[in-house]
Structure 1
Amino acid sequence: MKSKLYKTCEFFIIFILLPVSFIFPYAVYVKLGLGVVGFAYVIYMLLKIENQEFTINKHLNWYKFWKVTLLKFFVIAVLTTFFVYITNKSLLFQVVLNKPKMWLVILFVYSLFSVYPQELLYRTFFHVRYSDLVSNTKGLIFINALVFSLGHIFFKNALVLLFTFIGGLLFAITFVKTKSTVLVSVEHAIYGCWLFTVGLGEMLGFPT
């Protein structure tokens, strides 16, 4: 299970074949079943094969993290607000203004049940399993961003693929620097929640 051939086949199935298959019209329950089985496999590999532990590092540099992340968030907030304003002004902050309770619930559910599993798969599992297959760090980050974007291909939306590719780059860089699933999950949650808040949620599958 640690051979390069096994890992290459594993990578192809989990990060390319499976997400691409989701664009085809077959039963939703089959897709959900494949997703659950795949995620269970990821957890098993992390715990039993790679000997990873789901613990929080007590020595994380939260000050530096917030300093860098808030700066990136400011840039993202300005650009996305402007984008929504010029493309469809009626969507701007419409959920938080019209359905504040639903907005809060969705932020909580998304952050806990979507963001963290995504980061376990696309950052922790990906980097633990495949860092020895790609010796160049920049190349590894680029591939990670590509497959993260590909994981959203079922939306069949070019803008979603662009947004998730950029997000994938940011998240991969954070993970490479910090080696922390917690920090990259917090960053992911901040940006994702903001996109929902500013008015881009429907495009990304958020209920509106």
Structure 2
Amino acid sequence: MIALFLGIPIVVALWVQQLGGWLMPLLGVIGIACLAVLLADKQFKRFRLWHFADFKTHLGATLKVFIPWACLTMALVYLIKPDIFMQWPIEQPALWVTTLLIYPIVSVIPQEIIFRTFFFHRYKRIMPSKHVRWAVSTFAFGLAHLVYGNWIAVVVSWFGGALFGYRYMQTRSTPMVVIEHAIWGSFIFTVGLGTYLVVAPGQ
């Protein structure tokens, strides 16, 4: 756990200039490895990877959180950082559309397998309390975003990690958390905060 959720993020953050182009492949490899470990574990309940029990109820709960907080976030970005507000859709529409299309597949799915599905199951023995696992996974999720070299990425990811971890505890459904993560991530890239979630050239 220490090697995977502390060691790797720190190493990547320190050598991001050399590894920047390999972030998504590295995330994908780690995601596949974590999925393989889960599938090889007979105690893991595989239905968590695909079930949509009470989909409408959980989607409604997701939107009840998303709509007001997304509106507040838009207002804050517009007031505090008007130079980045809706920057990608306006100035780089092709990049924006491409990001919205590939982001859920290459980034969201591996992250949710690693930080929620894998983490909550794998470390149950050393952290019996699901709330402790929720707290530690939230911290680890934010820490992983050190690679972007700014505190905003880390703080935003802590809030996101807390929300996604809470949703996973509620639903025990990877797809439901993937959907919520994709909604928030797509919004972040649309409203302008996506500029803090990319590796800057020469970083």
Interval of TM-score (by shorter of Structure 1 and Structure 2): 0.7 to 0.9
Equivalent position SS for 1:153 = helix
What are structure 1's unaligned runs of at least 5 residues? Answer: 1-10
- TM-score, with normalisation over the residues of structure 2? 0.86
Query: Is 1:22 the equivalent of 2:22?
Result: no
- 1:56 — aligned with what? 50
Do the aligned partners of residues 155 and 99 (structure 1) sit closer, same or farther apart at CA in structure 2, a change above 3 Å counting? closer
Paired-residue identity, %: 29
- 1:103 — aligned with what? 96
Post-superposition shift, 1:129? 0.3
Query: Is 1:44 the equivalent of 2:36?
Result: yes
From 82, 88, 94, give the equivalent of 2:81: 88
Do the aligned partners of residues 34 and 185 (structure 1) sit closer, same or farther apart at CA in structure 2, a change above 3 Å counting? closer
Do the aligned partners of residues 181 and 35 (structure 1) sit closer, same or farther apart at CA in structure 2, a change above 3 Å counting? closer
After superposition, the CA RMSD in angstroms is 2.4
Cα deviation per residue 1:129-151 (whole Å; 9 max; x = unaligned)?
A: 01232122222211110000011
Post-superposition shift, 1:206? 8.1
- 2:174 — aligned with what? 181
Cα deviation per residue 1:97-129 (whole Å; 9 max; x = unaligned)?
A: 344343222101001111001001111110110
Greater CA deviation, 88-97 or 172-181? 88-97
Q: Equivalents in 2 of 1:24, 1:44: separation in Å? A: 28
Post-superposition shift, 1:37? 5.0
Post-superposition shift, 1:75? 2.5
Equivalent position SS for 2:192 = helix
| Cα contact 1:195–1:201 (8 A) shared by 2 | yes
Q: Equivalents in 2 of 1:125, 1:143: separation in Å? A: 13
Do the aligned partners of residues 173 and 102 (structure 1) sit closer, same or farther apart at CA in structure 2, a change above 3 Å counting? same
| Cα contact 1:22–1:31 (8 A) shared by 2 | no
- TM-score, with normalisation over the residues of structure 1? 0.84
Equivalent position SS for 1:134 = coil
Q: Equivalents in 2 of 1:14, 1:31: separation in Å? A: 17
Query: Greater relative contact order: 1 or 2 (C-alpha under 8 angstroms, separation 6 or more)?
Result: 2
Cα deviation per residue 1:132-179 (whole Å; 9 max; x = unaligned)?
A: 321222222111100000111111211111110110010001111111
Q: Equivalents in 2 of 1:17, 1:165: separation in Å? A: 18
Equivalent position SS for 1:22 = helix
